[in-house]
Amino acid sequence: MDKELTWWETHRPSTRKLIQLYSALLYNAHLKGFIDGEIYQGQTKAVCVPGFNCYSCPGAVGACPLGSIQNALASSGHHAGWYVLGIIMIFGLSLGRTICGWLCPLGLIQELLYKIPTPKIRKSRVTRALSYLKYVIIVIFVVSIPLYYGLKYDMPVPGFCKFICPAGTFEGAMGLLSNPKNSGLFGMLGILFTRKFVIMLIIGLACIFCYRSFCRFICPLGAIYGMFNKLALVSVKVDEDRCNGCGACVRSCKMDVRHVGDHECINCAKCMGVCAQSALSLKAGTHTIIAPEKGCADDTPDSAQKRQKNGRIGWGVALAVLCFALVWFNFLDPSVRKRSEAQAAAAQEQDVNESASDSAASGGEKTGTAVGDQFGDFTVTCLDGTIFHLADQKGKVVIINMWATYCGPCVKELPVFDNFYREHKDDAAVLAVHASEVLKDVPEFLEPRGLEMPFCIDDENDTIFNLSGASISLLPQTVVLDRNGTIVYNQTGSMTAELLNELYEKVK
Amino acid sequence: MTKKDVFLIIQSALCVLIAVLLSAAAIRIYLEGSAWQAAGHPSEWIYTREKAAAAIAPVIPLILISAAVTIAGLIMGIKDENKDKPVMDEEFNKMAAENRDFNKAGPEKAKKRITIRRILYAVAICFVVMGIFNGSMRDVLVKAIKICTECVGLG
């Protein structure tokens, strides 16, 4: 008689779930970011992670391949995005859609949502037809929109990230907004956030009723990896000699697969459990990673033992890597240490300022980044060779706009500042400060736009960005100072002509 | 209708209700806030932490009930029994029949795939190296550390 299984034996997380959880944690190893409400700024962000993980998530330590490919397409007027293309090809050729099944944090979230006990929608002709929607999304949102805006207006617009991506809303927007330190970010929320929030809820709801709805119908990254599935090194392989063509694997699969290993197959290896012939195995080339119950046809007597031993070694190495990553990305990384030191220095400076203003019974003004504080003085050489010294602008309303050529909304709002500058040249000073990281020749970028206002590029120490408190690296940001140099407005997000005029009227 | 069906329907209704209430709250905040802005207050925020908290507060009990129902369902093993059953309609029967032929690689085909894979690996590595030198790697870094607010759905 078979031994009755305990609740834990039937419900314990599978190896695949543990690997999904592991990769989610590894991609988001900068846990300090969730506490500080700031994103990671280290060099590892130059490397794309294989799965879908938004790089604006406070924990993310790598770049999202889909966001990167859209930005690369948007920059294709300047140089080809060979790097992202190469990285995606390496991921696709090595793992194909095994990434979706084993290494994608969004896949894990979808599977957990599907565990909520509700009636489920099973695969059918309709879901199969819907599975082609992701190719339409690739063409429109991932390729056409970034290419159109990039080539025509030299403006990066990552269509999928901007209009659809639920990972961006959940990990990025919600991740940042949920931190009380980022209350100021609420000021920029509008129609875009509302639309994406509702889209995220709809996708989440769909995932509760229909297995991996986002993955099957929408995910462009899965569609890209799917194109490599037949060539991928790691995949579920069918032993032709054992397979009797019963089709149990295809019928029981929750994805819209037509055949094992086709472009819809995420190589989750669940089909191995339903194959009575033990014809399926997960292999990397000729090396078996997961063997069927009966073992593989080419197994030697000690193969099973070897696999078990290799598995244990693999987990040991993986845990060591995770521990190292957690320590490195939270404490040792130079960018994290630099920021901690800067925060400590800022806190110390604030204390000094506060005690100074306390001691000055007349209520002396302190330097800072909040409304009511004095903006720190700086001198910068503009692109036209003129010198901009903030202290010299006393008596004028000063507007400082932080922007970058690689930020779509920043480029879009430049004419708003320029029109304002032309109208109020005598009474107001406007300075557009480009971030210290430069990807395009800024004067060359500005030349066809015919803008009159002064532009400068922040120095490598990000002096002006730091003075404005642009600590979480979000663009654009605008600071408005009254005639005494006191901050009356300091906000991340897009600026409108109406708002700029209202602020001017307020301090005029 | 069995007790299990009632349980599943209640849970579905809770999930739909939560999503609808949250969507409605976001849309209401947006409509009220943008109307106020349009009425001559462009510097007023549409969303604030307080408005968001007030809108979410009535939904929290529903979320907690739904979570409790989910946990109870998982412990009691209540689920849609059909979800793990194989699909038996005609189209999938046909696909299943073709499955074996599709995966029949044969030594020739398998060798061809390995060759193509090796060539593509070489091309991909060349692309990465070219990308490091033409600045597209730096593009990835800069765009991942200086985030455009529109791109993450903020505004």
d(CA A29, CA A328): 9
Rounded to 5 degrees, what are φ and ψ at A317? -65, -45
Question: With a CB-CB cutoff of 8 Å, which residues 80-109 of chain A face chain B?
Answer: 80-87, 89-90, 93
CB-based contact (8 Å) between B49 and chain A?
A: yes
CB A124 within 8 A of CB A258: no
Q: What is the pLDDT of residue A92?
A: 96
CA angle A162, A138, A110 (to 5 degrees): 75
Same domain, A81 and A226: yes
d(CA A390, CA A213): 54
d(CA A415, CA A435): 18
Q: What is the pLDDT of residue A362?
A: 46
Q: What is the pLDDT of residue A1?
A: 47
Evaluate whether residue A338 is within a structural domain.
no
H or E element that contains A298 = none
CA closest to B147 among chain A residues: A474
Question: With a CB-CB cutoff of 8 Å, which residues 113-152 of chain B face chain A?
Answer: 113, 116-117, 120-121, 123-132, 134-152
Evaluate whether residue A253 is within a structural domain.
no
CB-based contact (8 Å) between B84 and chain A?
A: yes
Please tell me which of the candidates B48, B127, B148 has its beta carbon nearest to residue A186.
B48
- Of A280, A292, A268, A286, the C-alpha closest to A241 is A280
CB-based contact (8 Å) between B27 and chain A?
A: yes
Rounded to 5 degrees, what are φ and ψ at A302? -100, 15
What pLDDT, in 10s, does the model give residues B87-143? 877 777 777 677 666 666 677 888 888 999 999 999 999 999 999 998 889 889 988
One digit per residue, the tens of pLDDT, for chain A of length 508 reads 456 777 777 778 899 999 999 999 999 999 999 998 889 989 999 999 999 999 999 999 999 999 999 999 988 877 888 999 999 999 999 999 999 999 999 999 999 999 999 999 999 889 999 999 999 999 999 999 999 999 988 888 899 999 999 999 999 889 989 988 888 888 889 899 999 999 999 999 999 999 999 999 999 999 999 999 999 999 998 888 888 888 888 889 999 998 888 999 999 999 998 999 888 999 898 888 888 877 777 777 787 888 888 889 999 999 999 999 999 999 998 887 777 776 676 666 656 655 655 554 444 567 777 888 888 889 999 999 999 999 998 889 999 999 998 888 888 899 999 999 999 988 899 999 998 888 888 999 899 888 999 999 998 888 888 888 765 578 889 999 999 889 999 888 888 888 898 899 888 7
Same domain, A106 and A223: yes
Same domain, A372 and A304: no
Same domain, A450 and A326: no
Q: Which of A44, A194, A195 to mutate against chain B (most B CBs within 10 Å)?
A: A194
DSSP state of A210: B
Residue type for position B8: L
d(CA A76, CA A69): 10
Q: In this structure, how many other beta carbons lie within 10 angstroms of the beta carbon of residue B39?
A: 9
Q: Which of A251, A504, A507 to mutate against chain B (most B CBs within 10 Å)?
A: A251
Rounded to 5 degrees, what are φ and ψ at A152? -80, -45
CB A467 within 8 A of CB A375: yes
Pair type for strands A379-381 and A387-389: antiparallel
Range of the domain at A391: 367-507
- Of A371, A34, A56, A424, the C-alpha closest to A187 is A371
Task: Tell me if residue A401 falls in helix, strand or coil.
Answer: strand
d(CA B128, CA A82): 6
DSSP string computed for B24-90: HHHHHHHHHHHHHHHTT-TTS-S--HHHHHHHHGGGHHHHHHHHHHHHHHHHHT---GGGGSPP-SH
CB-based contact (8 Å) between B1 and chain A?
A: no
Same domain, A377 and A427: yes
Residue type for position A483: R
Same domain, A371 and A225: no
How many structural domains is chain A composed of?
2
Evaluate whether residue A452 is within a structural domain.
yes
Evaluate whether residue A401 is within a structural domain.
yes
Dig out the tokens for A309 from the structure. Answer: 């031993």
CB-based contact (8 Å) between A79 and chain B?
A: yes
Rounded to 5 degrees, what are φ and ψ at A464? -70, -40
> How many residues appear in chain B?
155
Same domain, A372 and A449: yes
Whether A86 sits inside 8 A of B131 (CB atoms) is yes
Say whether the peptide bond before residue A476 is cis (omega within 30 degrees of 0).
Answer: yes
CB-based contact (8 Å) between B23 and chain A?
A: yes
> How many residues appear in chain A?
508
CB-based contact (8 Å) between A21 and chain B?
A: no
Please tell me which of the candidates B8, B103, B146 has its beta carbon nearest to residue A117.
B8
Rounded to 5 degrees, what are φ and ψ at A183? -55, -30
Same domain, A81 and A158: yes
Question: With a CB-CB cutoff of 8 Å, which residues 168-187 of chain A face chain B?
Answer: 168-169, 172-173, 176-177, 180, 183, 185-187
CB-based contact (8 Å) between B28 and chain A?
A: no
Q: Chain A closest CA to B24's CA: distance in Å?
A: 9
CA closest to B42 among chain A residues: A499
d(CA A356, CA A418): 38
Give A507's contacts (C-beta < 8 A, 6+ positions apart). A397, A480, A482, A483, A488
CB A7 within 8 A of CB B71: no
Which three-class secondary structure string do you get for A314-381?
HHHHHHHHHHHHHHHHHHHCHHHHHHHHHHHHHHHHHHHHHHHHHHCCCCCCCECCCCCCECCCCEEE
Q: Chain B closest CA to A246's CA: distance in Å?
A: 7
What pLDDT, in 10s, does the model give residues A208-250? 999 999 999 999 999 999 999 999 999 998 888 888 888 888 8
Beta strands in A159-267 (DSSP E): 234-238
Whether B82 sits inside 8 A of A48 (CB atoms) is no
Q: Give the start-to-end residue ranges of the domains of chain B.
A: 3-84, 109-155
Helices first, then strands: H and E counts in chain A: 23, 11
Same domain, A401 and A318: no
H or E element that contains A475 = strand A474-475
Question: With a CB-CB cutoff of 8 Å, which residues 124-163 of chain A face chain B?
Answer: 124-125, 128, 156, 158, 161-162
Q: What is the pLDDT of residue A361?
A: 43
The residues pairing with A399 across neighbouring beta strands, listed in sequence order, are A430, A480
CATH number at residue A503: 3.40.30.10
Whether B27 sits inside 8 A of A190 (CB atoms) is no
CA angle A478, A484, A487 (to 5 degrees): 30
Give the predicted TM-score (pTM) of the model.
0.87
Residue type for position B83: K
CB-based contact (8 Å) between A117 and chain B?
A: yes
CA closest to B71 among chain A residues: A116
What pLDDT, in 10s, does the model give residues B4-39? 889 999 999 999 999 999 999 999 999 999 999 888
Q: Chain A closest CA to B58's CA: distance in Å?
A: 17
CB A403 within 8 A of CB A433: yes
Contacts of B124 in chain A (CB under 8 A): 85-87, 89-90, 93
